[in-house]
Amino acid sequence: MKSVAGASKELELLVQMLPAIAHKLEGEQVLDVKTDSLVQGDLILIKPGESVAADGIISDGESYLNESMLTGESVPVKKQSGEKIIGGSINGNGSLKVKISHASKDSYLSRVIKLVEDAQKTKSKTQLLADKAAKILTIVALASGFLTFIFWKWIANETFVFALERMVTVIVICCPHALGLAVPLVVATSTSLSAKKGLLIKNRTTFENARKITTVLFDKTGTLTEGKFQVVRYQSFLDNVSAEQLLQYAAAIEQKSEHPIASGIVAKALELKLSFPDVIGFEAITGKGVEGIIDNREILLVSPKYVREKFKDSQMELNDKADETVIYVLLDNEIAGIIALADKIRPESKDAIRVLHESKIRSILLTGDNSKVAKSVSDELQMDGFFAEVLPEQKLEKIQELQSKGEFVAMTGDGVNDAPALAQADVGIAVGSGSDIAAETAGIILVNSNPKDIANLILFGKATYRKMIQNLIWATGYNVVALPLTAGVLYKWNIMLSPAMGAVLMSLSTIVVAINAKSLKV
């Protein structure tokens, strides 16, 4: 009972994360209404320290939100105007106005809870095997009991009471309580633990099959990489201007731009704690870059193409690589230096690949990028190979090709174009926020795009299956010893179990199964 209640409690904690009351904004008025009554388009106020009442988009305000119970992400996430937030996350010190994107019954948290409930109710092949074994054990228990009674009463000519006592003990000790609990307890525990860590199991059989995986195909952008531009190197070509000063100028101008490259440059300057000088005359040059004036110096941040066109007679070799996005900095119409950005590899990626290798699982990169980029990422992470310049429809073909060679393939994807490949893979894993179609097709959903979660998922799948098998072995194995003893095969040596001892052993087997299930860890 404690094991079942513990697993159910995890689900209750998810349910309780949504507050019962929300602060609805109607003009200048703030009305306290039931969270269930919120509908799409409503505007609500989230005060500091409160739980977010529903999924929505921030219309005003900025704050850090704790999403650890929802996504497994331990670090609070900065959210500002225009960004999505998840119902159930906990607001930090800022005050937010949020426009509801859908009612609470359709919220992310509600879908998670339904997924967990459905997964806990779903019977996998192992559960069906356990049910079948329990049915057989029940028949064996009754048959053994009656045969024991017949033997002692009419063959061994013992008293009726003695024969009845042997029959009852055999039936009691063979009662399939432990077998009935062996798999369901592990299922309830693993599903709840998974949800808390951001691993959402839609299909129990797919999850159990994770132990068979021999090859994992990784999407690159947003899975093995950060999915956003980051400065990887910056360099000055002038003696009187340092590389940091160049970056400082660039960040000051780019902070007025909304481009992803601009965000990467600004983030690097903030990381180095550089100050931002005043910019006048900021202007975006369509298709070329941006310009502004700092300290009476004209500064342009432009593309290699612009430099090639503007400085045709220059002897300078353009310092750009195929796997980088390079921005050239011009000071007073002179090439002053470069800032190179790339979609940086996640720190966790190398660990994820290492864990897979330790488990004798191959890792292959599957990307639409060019071969140079693919090889660079694959080599840095010490992966087993890569497929580059793969079109969406070719992903499915690559999986079929591996399967034809006897590989048990897991595919990770997050887009609409990944859906066919996710369906074809033996284990489909939708990563990150992803698309609804990808999530529908996959058997497992990873809330974060952390590649280490994929390795953890496979290891957890193996651990879960081991627990199931351990429980099945214990729940049936002890009967092999206990049944003959209770039937009285060692009676002439005065070794025999009483009905009370049979009941104790039967209860003990159930307790062992429950404790073993509870010891499962992610």
Residues noted as catalytic: 219
CB-side neighbour CA atoms (13 Å) of 159: 3
- 25 bridge partner residues: 30
Strands 84-85 and 56-60, sheet pairing: antiparallel
Task: Please tell me the distance from the alpha carbon of residue 522 to that of residue 59, in angstroms, as a whole number.
Answer: 37
Backbone angles phi, psi at 62, to 5 degrees: -150, 140
Q: For residue 382, what are its two tokens?
A: 């010490």
Q: Are 497 and 173 a contacting pair, CB within 8 Å?
A: yes
Evaluate whether 190 touches 337 at the Cβ level (below 8 Å): no
**Widest Cα–Cα separation across the chain:** 115
Closest CA relative to residue 248, chosen from 227, 220, 275: 275
Amino acid at 518: K
Q: How far apart are CA 368 and CA 378, in angstroms?
A: 14
DSSP string, 251-267: HHHHTT--SHHHHHHHH
What kind and span of H or E run contains 249? helix 243-254
Closest to 348 measured CA to CA, from 18, 74, 131, 139: 74
SS3 142: helix
H or E element at residue 200: strand 199-201
User: In terms of DSSP bridges, do strands 289-294 and 280-285 run parallel, antiparallel, or are they unpaired?
Assistant: antiparallel
Q: Would you say 199 and 460 are in contact if contact means Cβ atoms under 8 Å apart?
A: yes
What amino acid occupies position 318? Answer: L
Sign of CA dihedral 295, 301, 306, 309: positive
Q: Taking a C-beta distance cutoff of 8 angstroms, is the pair 446, 463 a contact?
A: no
DSSP β-bridge partners for residue 96: 46
Distance (Å, whole) CA 327 – CA 267: 15
Asked if 115 and 200 touch (Cβ cutoff 8 Å), the reply is: yes
